[in-house]
């Protein structure tokens, strides 16, 4: 589907996921804005906007994935450059919102970094934020500007409905922890399949242990559902436990493929037959695997941008 955007609209990208930005611009029938984001010799970010944006409705596509701080600074400086160049409206399009896991004080004297990032984006000059599958949906409330929050579940469920057509009676959705139960229930409802829940404990950061599995899954195919996979410890431990305890096949899916550290090695050595991810974060060659299948969010973001630009409701895209 190709949209024909009317009026003065421009799509720009920093360096985090230019391929996604190019695809979004293509769906909108636009060329990517002429800009350059580089570094000075001391590591400072340099932004150059090489076309007029005065009065334009500007969208900057930049997930704040690894390297998180560099990508965040690129976004902030680009927003500032747009504001000082008299852009009419600036929307920060953040398919992946870094620092989202630091959304509360878990222990005394913890920072709430997700709120700090929201303040920085607003102070830099953004008028609106467009994002997808925040780790904690309440982060929308950290902003004093409008936030459009897209969800990836419909893209994932559409894929699995085709993959398991005629076999859904033999498929169970599994939440890898209690924090993902709401997301997994939404996934299971759209698939019209039952749900199981893994009870785990986390003795320290990025380490998890399986304690119990609640629900019927023996003799069935299972799909683990999460918003992001970082070190892959939780998802691979869950997959191995499900396989050992009677699942016939284990699949997994997530919106954000962070995949840090030894995540790829863990996935390749696990019981997971296929990991389905969305391309909110660009996967470099070293993070690709025969087990990983990627779906594009470009059309969904293009439709959201088109609706925001035209002043239409975006809410129908949330389901």
Q: Which residues are catalytic?
A: 200
CA dihedral 259, 175, 172, 254 (to 10 degrees): -30
Q: What are the E-state strand segments in the chain?
A: 9-13, 35-39, 45-49, 57-61, 89-94, 128-132, 147-150, 171-175, 195-204, 207-214, 221-229, 249-257, 272-278, 292-295
Ramachandran area for residue 67 (φ above 0: left; ψ -120 to 50: alpha; else beta): beta
Give the torsion sign (CA, 144, 279, 17, 268): positive
Please name the residues in contact with 267: beta carbons below 8 A apart, sequence gap of 6 or more. 232, 235, 236, 259, 275, 289, 291, 292
Residue 101: how many other CB atoms lie within 10 Å: 15
> Is 272 within 8 Å of 291 (Cβ atoms)?
yes
């Amino acid at each position: 589907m190709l949209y024909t955007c009317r009026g003065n609209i421009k799509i720009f990208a920093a360096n985090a996921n230019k391929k996604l930005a190019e695809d979004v611009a293509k769906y909108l029938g636009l060329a990517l804005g002429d800009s350059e984001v580089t570094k000075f010799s001391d590591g400072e970010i340099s932004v150059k906007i090489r076309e007029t944006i005065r009065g334009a409705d500007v969208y900057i596509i930049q997930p704040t994935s690894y390297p998180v701080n560099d990508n965040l600074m690129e976004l902030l400086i680009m927003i500032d450059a747009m504001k000082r160049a008299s852009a009419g409206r600036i929307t920060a399009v953040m398919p992946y919102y870094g620092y989202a896991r630091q959304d509360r004080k878990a222990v005394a004297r913890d920072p709430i970094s997700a709120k700090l990032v929201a303040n920085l984006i607003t102070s830099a000059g953004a008028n609106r934020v467009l994002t997808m599958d925040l780790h904690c949906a309440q982060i929308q409330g950290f902003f004093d500007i409008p936030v459009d929050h897209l969800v990836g579940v419909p893209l994932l469920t559409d894929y699995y409905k085709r993959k398991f057509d005629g076999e859904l009676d033999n498929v169970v959705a599994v939440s890898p922890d209690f924090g993902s139960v709401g997301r997994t229930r939404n996934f299971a409802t759209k698939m019209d399949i039952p749900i199981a829940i893994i009870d785990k404990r986390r003795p320290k950061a990025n380490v998890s242990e399986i304690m119990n599995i609640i629900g019927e899954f023996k003799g069935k195919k299972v799909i683990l559902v999460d918003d992001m996979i970082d070190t892959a410890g939780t998802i691979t431990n869950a997959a191995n436990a499900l396989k050992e305890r009677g699942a016939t096949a284990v699949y997994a899916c997530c919106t954000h493929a962070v995949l840090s550290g030894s995540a790829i090695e863990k996935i390749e050595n696990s019981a997971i037959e296929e990991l389905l991810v969305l391309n909110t974060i660009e996967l470099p060659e070293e993070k690709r695997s025969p087990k990983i299948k990627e779906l594009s969010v470009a059309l969904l973001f293009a439709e959201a941008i088109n609706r925001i630009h035209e002043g239409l409701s975006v809410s129908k895209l949330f389901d």
